[in-house]
């Protein structure tokens, strides 16, 4: 990854940069596949040892997407307060 950054910053030939970027993407894909395979193996082990709670927690961590919490409060007049400073002042 560092070689790719150096090639991009030095303005070297475009093909060198593309080659390094391709290698980085392949490494990332390979690591992601290994990570998921390891998690699947953990799930199978948990089910075989009758630890379904742990297995389902791993499944949930793999399948759920991040949902940020929205902090919205209304003031006395019914106006929506979204900035943290306004919420604290209320």
What is the band of 56 on the pLDDT scale with cuts at 50, 70, 90?
very high
* For the chain, domain boundaries: 2-65
The first and second tokens of residue 64, run together, are: 């759920």
The residue behind tokens 């970027």 is 21
Largest CA distance in the chain: 62
Task: Please report, in angstroms and rounded to a whole number, the separation of the first and last CA atoms in the chain.
Answer: 48
Residue 41 pLDDT: 96
Residue 47 contacts by C-beta under 8 Å, 6 or more apart in sequence?
55
pTM: 0.58
């Amino acid at each position: 990854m560092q070689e790719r950054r150096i090639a991009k910053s030095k303005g070297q030939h475009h093909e060198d940069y593309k080659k390094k970027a391709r290698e980085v993407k392949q490494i990332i894909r390979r690591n992601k596949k290994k990570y998921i395979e390891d998690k699947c193996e953990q799930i199978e082990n948990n089910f075989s040892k009758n630890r379904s709670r742990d297995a389902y927690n791993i499944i949930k961590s793999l399948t759920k997407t991040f949902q940020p919490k929205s902090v919205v409060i209304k003031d006395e007049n019914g106006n929506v307060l979204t900035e943290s400073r306004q919420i604290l002042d209320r």
